[in-house]
Amino acid sequence: MFEHAAATDVGRLRNHNEDSHLVVELPDGLLCAVSDGMGGHAAGEVASRLAIEHLAAAARELPAGEPALLRLQTAVQAAHAAIRAAATGGREGMGCTLTAAVWRDQAIELLSIGDSRAYRLRATSVEQLTEDDSLVGEMVRQKLLTADQARSHPARSYLTRALGVGTAAEYATATATLESGEVLLLCSDGLTAHVADDQILALVNGAATLAAAAAALVQAANEGGGSDNITVVLARARRD
């Protein structure tokens, strides 16, 4: 039903990988997610793993045919509480991004917190489906920065929302449609800090398989500097 591939890499400058990701084939679709942890002393790994574990549990209980967003929101609230409860003993302030998508037929339900992105990749166009919950993301929306300037801005990693930080989980939801052959990409900012949208499109469309595309995206991010952990999840509906 779906072709999918994922890749994650520590990058060139970090000594551990705080990103987590998930791809689950549902009886009637696909659930995928990327989470990018933050916090010192490996706390980011704990936060992103907690977020993904809660989503994995929700995936096992998703009723076929029913809208998924309500279940995702419940899982996100539980993950938020779990991260806060675990933020002790040097892990104070840990948190993570989360971008999750449930894809059934041609409809995608999205939930996002932070600056991990979802993209729709077509034959000749690329479209970001999520908004960055970040200081530079806000400045781009206010036309104070271009996307290129945001990519290299010194404050580019400052998030305005993160899972596990603050009293309540705040997130955005969205829906989108994808036609057969179009590709869904979820990624952490370790990709988008170094690889522009049009380059992402060219690399994915130029690859023979999604697995090759995932490897090419990680390689491009590393060649661009590899300043952060890099995670990509790619999926497309198979042409039947």
Query: Using CB under 5 A, which of the segments 1-9, 79-87, 184-192, 196-204 binds Mn ion?
Result: 184-192
Q: How far is the CB of 209 from Mn ion (least distance, A)?
A: 26
SS3 for 157? Answer: coil
Q: Does 45 bind Mn ion (CB under 5 A)?
A: no
Amino acid at residue number 12: R
Q: Which DSSP symbol is given to 144?
A: S
Of 29 and 39, CB closest to Mn ion: 39
Of 78 and 232, CB closest to Mn ion: 232
Contacts with Mn ion: how many residues (CB under 5 A)?
A: 5
Residue with tokens 């549902």: 26
Residues from 201 through 230 that contact Mn ion (CB under 5 A): 228
Rg for the chain, CA atoms, rounded: 17
- Under 8 Å between Cβ of 178 and 103: yes
Q: Does 115 bind Mn ion (CB under 5 A)?
A: no
Residues from 25 through 44 that contact Mn ion (CB under 5 A): 36
Q: Does 9 bind Mn ion (CB under 5 A)?
A: no
SS3 for 193? Answer: coil
Enter the tokens of residue 138: 């806000």
- Under 8 Å between Cβ of 196 and 148: yes
Binding region for Mn ion (CB under 5 A):
36, 188-190, 228
